[in-house]
A and B are shown apart, each in its own frame.
Chain A
């Protein structure tokens, strides 16, 4: 479009400015805060702080809940993606709308509504009581956080998996059947391997926000369950220790970068 590189540069400049001010500068600030102490001297203490028991515990819990949520999302999304891909023509529009519709609402509002549902005297326990069934204690447990994560992030798992399933030529599946594979063999040897790129991008898109969330854990986990996201948030907003908060953020970023490298490498393999 722009054969003159100068012109192309001029058109792109607002985006460069945007990236500089809102991405690169904050990132540099996090690095600077994370690698210095209050006096401004270089230190690795803020990063090593992850080894402190309460920090390590919150990181491990965050990893555990993010992994569980990602796994549940995958197990729910894959069959659903297959149903969607199979019914390309007819019901797809309705089903897609049902799954996309909640995404048009604010994420905090949706999570808030789960609070109302799961509360000890909330909607679900109200129904259970009405049916003379024992009440459940869900709110303020890790289980409630997992529910919130799965609910909020499921569409991000469905979409890439659906896309990779829909891309498979139906004749490729027919070919596997034709060559003697039964439906289980066809799924394991053809369908599943062909959707690996979709699975990886779905996993990345669920795992990273689940690992770093603090809003879901604050609202559904109460103040007792702290994930690494909550710890970092508190360092910034309660104790005002920006150095410690940045140091822990850097640790978290390392996890994210590793995850993204894995997904980038697997995408390259796919090409």
Chain B
């Protein structure tokens, strides 16, 4: 793994007595696409604003390239931000918007001109120099906001839900665009979003947050396939989260039926949560699976059918390319490696702290 660039040490922050971040520790590496993912109010934007310098933490330190920058003003930091809703300067044309940071740094006119055309080319908006921001579409304004940030050659680009205001199609296009930009620029991106699909598509590293705590960190594959607790499992994609008992290593009792699994080290007869992704639940003929059930709902979703199956007193969410009409009697089967066993939190608080590490 590449060099550490930013380190957040024991960051706490509260507003009006409400704790937003509690003893947060995070390391961001050079040239990483890191996403802070979580529901609104989880502290992800506050974390970004602390890195950007728009908020000062109540406690803790922000280390940038070995330097403590906790109380450094935003204009003195070697990073730039792409804000939610773009925040372009509406009284300047596109060229002047992009030139803003360079003019402050007293760059030569020639340098500024070259940078403007380079940046517009990079975001595919050549020829827009003399348009006004208000005459651009949301997607175009967002590209200009990115261009305005990157001409300053920051080491880190902070992006605060930059695609939130765009429609679905444009959002997907911009996701690929951002991945391409990231590769061409070779700098660190710190991205904030509540959209799990966006996070899975773009990131090298995802940090899932809830209620001011980091719930889980890892690659998109880790986060999706091996959620560490029910919150992460529920937040990332659809899932069946079921209370179960770990009978012994590699054997778990779900809804009073024993399933072989691959997890171990939880102890014997220990209550746990298991998560099974809807695409990992197999529906088979009555007698061929482990839990008998009946299909209660079916919706066609394009790529697959989404079904609800009442089985063993639990409503299972099932994705399958095969259609099982409502009322079909089926059995449920799950392969051992598709059962993800998680520790059960003793309380809400412990759920958050327990996985922080």
Contact = CB atoms under 8 A, between A and B. Distances in A.
Interface residues of A, number: 18
Contacts of B87: 169, 171-172, 174-175
Contacts of A181: 75, 100, 104
B100 A174 contact: no
A176 B101 CA distance: 8
Interface stretch (B76-84, B235-243, B325-333): B76-84
A80 B73 CA distance: 25
Interface in B82-105: 83-85, 87-91, 100-101, 104-105
Given A171-B84, A179-B104, A194 B91 contact: yes
Interface string A127-162: 000000000000000000000000000000000000
B57 interface: no
Nearest to A196: B91
Contacts of A180: 75, 101, 104-105, 152
Given A169-B85, A171-B84, A182-B75, A176 B90 contact: no
A121 interface: no
B91 A174 contact: no
A177 B84 contact: no
A167 to B, nearest CB: 10
A190 B87 CA distance: 11
Contact of A193 (B85, B88, B91, B105): B91
Interface string A193-231: 110100000000000000000000000000000000000
Nearest to A173: B87
A185 interface: yes
Contacts of A194: 89-91
Contacts of B105: 180
A181 B54 CA distance: 14
A170 to B, nearest CB: 9
B80 A179 contact: yes
Contacts of A179: 75, 80, 100-101, 104, 148-149, 152
Interface string B102-125: 001100000000000000000000
Contacts of A175: 81, 83, 87-89, 148
B52 interface: yes
Contacts of A171: 83-85, 87
Given A178-B80, A180-B104, A172 B89 contact: yes
A182 B100 CA distance: 12
Interface in B143-158: 148-149, 152
Nearest to B80: A178
A266 B101 CA distance: 27
User: B-side binding surface: helix, strand, loop or mixed?
Assistant: loop
A171 B75 CA distance: 14
Nearest to B101: A179
A212 B291 CA distance: 90
A123 to B, nearest CB: 43
A195 B73 CA distance: 25
B88 to A, nearest CB: 8
Given A179-B100, A185-B104, A190 B89 contact: yes
Contacts of A178: 52-54, 74-75, 80-81, 149
Nearest to B49: A174
Contacts of A193: 91
B90 A174 contact: no
Contacts of B80: 178-179
A197 to B, nearest CB: 10
Contacts of A189: 100
Nearest to A174: B54
Nearest to A195: B91
B175 to A, nearest CB: 22
A102 B335 CA distance: 78
A170 B53 CA distance: 14
Interface of A: 169, 171-172, 174-182, 185, 189-190, 193-194, 196
Given A178-B81, A179-B149, A180-B152, 6 more contacts: A169-B85, A175-B83, A179-B75, A179-B80, A180-B105, A194-B91
13 contacts: A169-B87, A171-B85, A172-B87, A174-B54, A174-B81, A175-B81, A175-B89, A176-B89, A176-B100, A177-B54, A178-B54, A178-B74, A196-B91
The 10 lowest CB-CB distance pairs between A and B, nearest first, are A179-B101, A171-B87, A171-B83, A175-B87, A180-B104, A177-B74, A193-B91, A172-B87, A178-B81, A180-B75
